[in-house]
Amino acid sequence: MTGNPVFAYGLLGLPLAFAALPIYVHVPRYYAEAADLPLAMLGAILLGTRLLDAGIDPWLGWLADRVSRRRMLALSLLPFALGFVALLNPPVEHAGVWLLASLTLTYLGFSAATVAYQAWGADIGTNSILRTRLTAAREGFGLLGVVLAAALPTVLATDLDRGIERLSWILPPLVLIAAATTFSRVAAGPVVAATRVPLLPSLRRVFADIAFRRLLLVFVANGIAAALPATLFLFFVADVLQLEKVSGLLLALYFVAGAASLPLWVRLSARYGRVLAWLGAIGLSIISFAGASQLGSGDLWPFAAICIASGLALGADLALPVAIAADLGERQGQAGAYFGVWNLVAKLNLALAAGLSLPLLGLLGYVPGSGNGLTALTLAYALLPLAFKALAGCLLWRWRHTLEIES
């Protein structure tokens, strides 16, 4: 490697996360209002495409253990960028079909790139501390990409929907610049013998790892707690807080706090262990969600404080559990397979959050922009995540000794 390998490796996380925020946060509301899709149809499409996307991750992880990680990453960036541009520029008619097709293309490229990218990081990280630093760099640049994606729509246009459309055209040059930097300055890492284990036996080896199974259970509970407010953030800000005009700034504040906290979590994990540091972040999240449940119209500054507090906790959620997973994957010699399963679980969390919460809110009387069903919206945005965070914290504490892994 040349230059700073941690910096160069992390840079490619920026365009990947830049696209992730509009996909998971802006697209539901954009297609509900600008494209006028019914919530039930929108939820069904989001659930179906996300389940399909999640379902191919184990296969992509298995593939990443059989081919060059760098080549797989490079080839996946083209469909990722093309699909994203299409996704945020729907036609006037047949918006549902367009959403289905463009999401499928975007997810395919995004998933293949993410699995290969994560496995590459596990390869070049020669020990637990370096893997944590590489993960933190990847997620730090990812959060920078998220901040840009959150702030730019209101900069690019006075109308949020128009700004989201223009945002899509920024991704392709970002991908080119970041990929050129990462591929030119980060070596392939040690040669890993391609596994010839078939897909199903490979997955059985992954799930035979009891520490990984326990980590996944904590990750599921914690992930659902994060996915619900991510899906409902814009709805909550617009209808409960009546602060739609500053939604982009609030999102940016949340992610800036997350990025700023990453060095702190790396230091705390080095001193106290990743599990205890993660537990501290979960406690901070619980306090934040409890505060959000008490807010109402016009509560800008209290919600800004909650965005900062929950953003600080976000840094730990992004850097620490995936670094533990990287250690486990390298210990078993199949990091790709581990990250394939890991990303499958992460996407199932998001799929269930969108596919179940939106239709449920519709049944409970919530209609975006109408003022109806706001109590149900607050329950889904704040109190349900609080319960899942508490469950994650209890499981993590119970299994703390088996999850503090070093390699």
Confidence band for 107, pLDDT divided at 50, 70 and 90: very high
Between CA 39 and CA 45 the distance in angstroms is 10
Burial degree of 209 (CB within 10 A; 0-12, 13-18, 19+): middle
Confidence band for 205, pLDDT divided at 50, 70 and 90: confident
Candidate from 109-123, 147-161, 283-297 with smallest mean pLDDT: 147-161
Confidence band for 309, pLDDT divided at 50, 70 and 90: very high
Average pLDDT over residues 187-202: 67
Confidence band for 75, pLDDT divided at 50, 70 and 90: very high
Query: Which one-letter amino acid corresponds to residue 59?
Result: W
Summarised one tens digit per residue, pLDDT across range 345-368 is: 887 777 777 677 778 888 888 888
Confidence band for 189, pLDDT divided at 50, 70 and 90: low
Q: Is the pLDDT of residue 173 over 50?
A: yes
Percent of the chain with pLDDT over 70: 96
Q: What is the pLDDT of residue 191?
A: 54
More confidently predicted of 178 and 93: 178
Q: What is the pLDDT of residue 395?
A: 96
User: Taking a C-beta distance cutoff of 8 angstroms, is the pair 354, 64 a contact?
Assistant: no
More confidently predicted of 181 and 252: 181
The domain defined by 5-185+199-403 folds into: Growth Hormone; Chain: A; (1.20.1250)
Q: What is the pLDDT of residue 1?
A: 47
Q: What is the pLDDT of residue 133?
A: 86
Between CA 343 and CA 54 the distance in angstroms is 7
Q: Is the pLDDT of residue 119 over 80?
A: yes
Q: What is the pLDDT of residue 76?
A: 95
Q: What is the pLDDT of residue 392?
A: 96
Summarised one tens digit per residue, pLDDT across range 211-269 is: 999 999 999 999 888 888 888 888 899 999 999 888 878 888 888 898 899 899 989 98
Long-range contacts, 122-127 (Cβ 8 Å, 24+): 122/326, 122/329, 122/330, 122/335, 122/339, 123/69, 123/188, 123/189, 123/190, 123/192, 123/330, 123/335, 124/1, 124/5, 124/9, 124/186, 124/187, 124/189, 124/190, 125/326, 125/330, 127/406, 127/407
Mean predicted lDDT score pLDDT of the chain:
86
Query: Which one-letter amino acid corresponds to residue 316?
Result: A
Give the contacts of 329 (CB within 8 A, at least 6 positions apart): 119, 122, 335, 336, 337, 338, 339
**Treating both helix axes as pointing N-terminal to C-terminal, what angle do 95-124 and 13-21 enclose, rounded to 10 degrees?**
150
Q: What is the pLDDT of residue 221?
A: 92
User: Taking a C-beta distance cutoff of 8 angstroms, is the pair 224, 391 a contact?
Assistant: no
Q: How far is CA 381 from the centre of its chain?
A: 17
Q: Is the pLDDT of residue 407 over 60?
A: no
